């Protein structure tokens, strides 16, 4: 996930939404191998703190922070491109996703051309 904002308060929105929706995924059906694997994955993810998620799974922050983290991944892993999932789980409102995308295009992408 990549989420970009110039506002520290807006940068905290994913944390608040994760906390609010943290237990909603526990209502999945079980019984089939697919659902059992999915339930196990959800259980592992729910044990992660938000800070662990920020360190290992997502990039959230100002355009400068996003550039810094992407550069770290690029240098560490030798990446030549990135794919961004802007709203996993549909937790962010469309206007926030649109603002994030505009910042990614206008300020982050030029750093990698």
Per-residue pLDDT of 11-69, as tens digits, reads 677 666 666 555 444 444 556 888 888 889 889 888 888 888 888 888 999 999 999 99
Diameter of the chain measured on Cα atoms:
48
Do residues 17 and 92 make contact, with C-beta atoms less than 8 angstroms apart?
Answer: yes
Do residues 10 and 98 make contact, with C-beta atoms less than 8 angstroms apart?
Answer: no
Structure tokens at 20: 């609010």
Give the pLDDT score at 25.
Answer: 47
Terminal Cα-to-Cα distance of the chain (whole angstroms): 21
Task: Using a cut of 0.85, tell me whether the model's pTM lies above it.
Answer: no
Has residue 103 got a pLDDT over 90?
yes
Has residue 6 got a pLDDT over 50?
yes
């Amino acid at each position: 996930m990549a989420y970009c904002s110039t506002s520290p308060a807006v940068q905290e929105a994913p944390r608040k939404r994760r906390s609010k929706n943290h237990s909603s995924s526990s209502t999945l059906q079980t019984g089939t191998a697919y659902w059992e694997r999915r339930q196990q994955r959800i259980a592992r993810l729910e044990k992660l703190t938000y800070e662990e998620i920020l360190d290992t799974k997502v990039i959230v922050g100002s355009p400068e922070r996003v550039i810094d983290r992407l550069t770290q991944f690029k240098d560490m892993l030798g990446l030549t491109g990135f794919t961004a999932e802007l709203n996993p789980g549909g937790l962010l409102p469309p206007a926030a996703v649109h603002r994030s995308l505009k910042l990614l295009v206008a300020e982050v992408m030029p750093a990698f051309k």
